[in-house]
Structure 1
Amino acid sequence: MLSNVLNALTSSPNSKLSHVTLQTGSKHYVGPLFDPILSTQLSPHDSPFIEDYPRLPLPNFYYNVEDILASYSKSFTYSIHRPSIFLGVSTRSYFNIPLTLAVYALVCKHQNYPFRYFGNKFSWEHFWDMTNARVIAEQHVWASVTDKAKNEAFNCTNGDVFTWKMMWKLLCDTFDVEFVPFDEKEKFDIVEFMKDKGEVWDKIVEENGLYKTKMEEMTCFGALDTILKLEVQHVLSMTKSREFGFHEYANTPKSITEWAHRLRQMKILP
């Protein structure tokens, strides 16, 4: 698909295409997390993840699209952008992790279930980062108009870190649910728990006069369960971006509350 688009855009002698930005993500450093076979062979890089780390010895769609883009370097310049966990407003993004957690919290509140953490002890205690949608959008624009950023790859995060223990407390405050300390002895399958909660979400939508959404279209419990069971500190280095002149940032905890407020204004969350 990418090749077809680029062929069409560059085939005309009057083409004015000068720069293309490509957005991939942190699987560049971790590997094919969601492949049922290859995920058992993961050997992620040490964190913080750095842009010039060598590619991992496993098939990765991100590598393929980067190579396609680089093959057009005589026709236009390009930049590659690698965000972390995404934080933004959307009702139908598959990897919509914050919205997935919001739906889970609200279902627990509605049904009086405990809002339990379903990752492992490692992810609960170690550092992670996120990427505000505004910050990644500004990085795309910056790279498009900054000469020394052309034909380069850049990580993009908010610039701070958090632990899921800290984030869980913040989510509890944001959605008015009781904080439950993580207990690694207590096994909890989030996918199994949420698989029949679509009707509960429908009731929440109806009772609160919300924008009509379906839980299955706005959550990714299977993917999130996989991510939160990683035993790697999910932190991307922002040093290269800073050295090249990109200095935008976001306060992640503040972004969470602002994001929730925005979704309430849009009548997506109660």
Structure 2
Amino acid sequence: MPRLPYPNFYYALEDLSASYSQSLTYSVHRSSIIIGASSRSFDNIFLTLFVYATICHDECLPFRYPGSKYTWEHFCDLSDARVLAEQQIWAVVTDNAKNHAFNCTNGDVFTWKSLWKALCEVFDVELVPFDENEKFSWVGMMKEKGRAWDEIVEKYGLYKTNMGEIVCFEAVNAILHFEFQNVCSMNKSREFGFWGYANTLKSIGMWVRRYRDVKNTLNYQIMNGHVIFSLEEWNQ
């Protein structure tokens, strides 16, 4: 599609890269909502949802969907960080991919209804039926949970974080109120030979386990001054 008719930082980066194309090659990777296991990404959408689910579980609160009926029922897609990295490496070593732009998503779609069910299973919280007439101030409620998060960190020996530094409630709230289906085509990537993909719903549990592994590693770093793995943890 043609560029939108207003300045965009990404356009500037693309133009800068293209201006050096006689001496180097480049590629552009346009992701959807990225899911990964970064512990310090302020715009990490799923870390925000994981914190929300953890607080609901610990305080026996209903894990209510804070979005709209439209997003609850309509399609969306995600970009698994593993797929994004795989595509970037592929583009570097594939001649016909040089100097091209590619969408990068998991290659499947989901509804937030199905993804919310997956989150409930992973965090052992009850799936609350969505009721569009039942409004609640999710952002305001969660912004008051800083002390609750501190208590959870202390209670379970988590890596010490300030909740305000790892969540982005406003960004998540905006995504969950999209008035369009956020779905990107991977046709160009496939035509050029990239077939990387991830099963979005199955990946949720994997990334939660990855966060738990990071917690174990970071605790050892703090306790001993350097990383020490027990054989059992290494095998896991």
Fold-level similarity (TM above 0.5): yes
Counterpart residue identity of residue 76, structure 1: L
Q: Distance in 1 between matches of 2:178 and 2:19?
A: 34
The match for 2:97 among 137, 149, 152 is 149
Which residue of 2 is the match for residue 260 of structure 1? 208
* Alpha-carbon contact 1:79-1:151 (below 8 Å) kept: yes
What is the one-letter code of the residue matched to 2:179? E
- Give RMSD over aligned pairs: 1.2
Structure 2 runs not aligned, ≥5 long: 217-236
Unaligned runs of 5+ in 1: 1-52
CA distance in 1, matches of 2:20, 2:137: 45
For 1:177-196, what per-residue CA distance to the aligned partner results, in whole angstroms no more than 9, with x for missing partners? 11111111122222111111
Does 2:192 correspond to 1:247?
A: no
Alpha-carbon distance between aligned partners in 2 of 1:190 and 1:70, rounded to the nearest angstrom? 43
SS in 2 for 1:66: helix
How far apart, CA to CA, are the structure 2 residues paired with 1:197 and 1:104? 9
Does structure 1 residue 197 correspond to structure 2 residue 140?
A: no
1:267 Cα shift?
2.1
User: How many residues end up aligned between the 2 structures?
Assistant: 216
Q: How far apart are residue 221 of structure 1 and its match?
A: 0.6
- Aligned-pair CA distance for 1:117: 0.9
* Residue in structure 2 matched with residue 97 of structure 1 by the alignment: 45
Q: Is the Cα–Cα contact under 8 Å of residues 107 and 201 in structure 1 kept in the other structure?
A: yes
The worse-fitting range, judged by mean Cα deviation, of 166-175 and 112-121 is 112-121
Counterpart residue identity of residue 106, structure 2: N
Mapping for residues 1-270 of structure 1, pairs under 5 Å: 53-267=1-215
Please report the TM-score for the alignment, with normalisation by the length of structure 2: 0.88
Structure 1 pair 139–109 and aligned structure 2 pair: CA distance change class (3 A)? same
Looking at structure 2, the residues matched to 152 and 102 of structure 1 have their Cα atoms a distance apart, in angstroms, of 35
CA contact under 8 A between 1:127 and 1:163: conserved in structure 2? yes
Cα distance in 2, alignment partners of residues 202 and 114 from structure 1: 20
Q: Partners in 1 of 2:11 and 2:90 — Cα distance?
A: 23
CA offset digits 1:209-247 (Å, max 9, x no partner): 111112111111111111111111111100000000001
Contact 1:91 1:217 in 2 (8 A): no
